[in-house]
Structure 1
């Protein structure tokens, strides 16, 4: 049943390999915990007992919530296939957890990363590749998987838009800045001898650059720009893209389309970032804010 469920995820939703691997691990862990009963025979009480045991073992609420999401999809699949007559996860409450807020770079830090982090590398190609990667991550908000899977032919798209294939195989159009296009054209011209179909070829030109290989490049860029490499990642640049757009008045719905979020609630995490910044501004600068009160206390003493 697990194999059939994962095949359905691939066929119907185009679920990524990593997603399917994570779901398989979660479901097989639950199946082992339920043994010798099969998943078709366990009761909803068994699900509740499993999550209670997870909590006692110190499994984080975030991980438990992810596993429950997987189980719910699998339970619906078993219901649809007629394997069960009831919903296995009925009544199971999703664990509450604090959603971590993104920590974007400032506009000044991004500027420094683009100006100083993309030159002075060991060879010209590394300079070109660094410039293209950083320009595109920050100006398009692409996920790293979307960036590394771009074909070299993407530079031939006209109209200032780039076609991106995102999660679940969904395609979207994102603006392709002239500076990013020029940098990409220079990289493709330099790599012409490799005859690779990818914008970012790997060591084997027939395959794209790996995530691990990209991380090494980004690490070197951060050091050259005088930034802490631990603060610079593809995900941070995606967060920076979104946060800077909102700070300058972008619409949340437009941001949802640009980021490729299927649900607006995923995009709304950025409004939390803005809320926290507004609170901090009041604390620091309002006459009755905490900072002002502390200063008055110092004067009295």
Structure 2
């Protein structure tokens, strides 16, 4: 009798899932592996966090609408489409927001742009599942992004910028800080996460330059930016105020409690300043300051390639959008400053005056 006849092999065995797709319970386990892979690939912590938040949103929907037992629900196109309908019609716009959820509980249904942000992260996970052999069907190919309108990019005009800069109380630390942040955003086009993540080691106030470190940049590449004398003066004043209370602190911007200033905290301040300035028809946010920088850079004759480098875009796509969106403003500037308009305009005015005197 062969002694091996009734023995089961224990080495080299592979557990094979005979289903075509994992359950949501299994997907949760696979998602953790997916995050580890993406971290190895170099995704930034903020991007990894977004993946976690949006996948959790999908799992919460399944628990709410399908079953608390995630072993009973298989990851499928039908479930994802139901989730998209929920986002479009029922999802609260400000659900889980620390201060807006209560006041805006009646606002339901996310915009196509917001939904697409979530779908892009989920599609990335679905592609991973197919590529690694955990799913036979590629859900990412069947789930299409929603059609969106090409909204005009919101930017501030000079009067609105001036009104906002007059709102902070420069006699207080918070006011000096907010004024310096606004100047820095307008002067450089930095993303708010980049600006608030800067340390004293990233900025040279003598040479009027700063470096956005690679770990802060969205594209993972560091870049050097010039800053104007007015911004330098505001930062020097803020640095002096900070060092009196936090002599060991190395960040540029702190909360009044001594913690690093968070983007959400600055957004709240901007909302208050906009209300006090009477700006109601134009959305005011840190990213609108970035658009405003791009707008005035173009209007003042800046070239597209330098703008791309300053903004930290990996391609020219967004820069082209800026140029297209601000075409009417460029045309207005052209009418005012064109040499032809200046030369012929004077000639035409003289001709009209001569005709009046005949």
TM-score by length of 1: 0.74
CA distance in 1, matches of 2:265, 2:241: 19
Aligned partners of 2:184 and 2:261: how far apart in 1?
15
**1:199–1:271 Cα change, 3 Å:** same
Distance 1:96 1:280, change over 3 A: farther
The 1:124–1:70 alpha-carbon spacing in structure 2 relative to 1, beyond 3 Å, is: closer
More helix by share: 1
2:55, 2:122 within 8 Å by CA — same for their partners in 1?
Answer: no
Q: Deviations over 1:111-140 (max 9, x none)?
A: 3433x334xx27343443233112101001
How is 1:268-279 mapped onto 2 (pairs within 5 angstroms)?
A: 268-275=320-327
Asked whether 1:198 is paired with 2:198, we answer no
Q: Could you list the per-position Cα deviations for residues 233-279 of structure 1 after superposition, in whole angstroms to 9, with x for gaps in the alignment?
A: 22221111111112223233322222223343233332342246579
Partner of 2:33: 4
Q: CA deviation at 1:55?
A: 5.5
Higher RCO by CA contacts (8 Å cutoff, separation 6 or greater): 1
Contact 2:123 2:140 in 1 (8 A): yes
Who is 1:260 aligned against?
312
Partners of 1:221 and 1:54 in 2: CA distance: 31
CA distance in 1, matches of 2:112, 2:31: 24
- Cα RMSD after superposing both structures: 3.3
Worse overlay, 187-196 or 46-55: 46-55
Deviation at 1:7, TM superposition (A): 3.3
Q: How many Å apart are 1:106 and its aligned residue?
A: 0.9
Matches within 5 A, 1:1-301: 1-11=30-40, 12-16=42-46, 18-29=49-60, 32=63, 36-39=72-75, 42=76, 44=77, 47=80, 51=84, 60-114=111-165, 116-118=166-168, 121=169, 123-156=171-204, 159-164=207-212, 165-167=216-218, 169-193=220-244, 194-195=246-247, 196-205=249-258, 207-219=259-271, 221-222=273-274, 226-228=277-279, 231-275=283-327
> Residue by residue, what CA displacement relative to the aligned partner does 1:213-243 show, whole Å, maximum 9, x if unpaired?
323543554466x442774322221111111
> Alignment partner of 1:163: what SS?
strand
Aligned to 2:104: none
Structure 2: state its 5+ residue gaps: 1-29, 91-108, 334-358
Mark the structure with the bigger radius of gyration: 2
> Matches of 2:148 and 2:37 in 1, distance apart?
30
Q: Is the 8 A contact 1:154 1:162 kept in 2?
A: yes
Gaps of 5+ in 1: 282-301
> 1:175 deviation in Å?
1.8
Specify whether residues 84 and 222 from structure 1 end up closer, same or farther in structure 2 by C-alpha distance, changes over 3 A only. closer
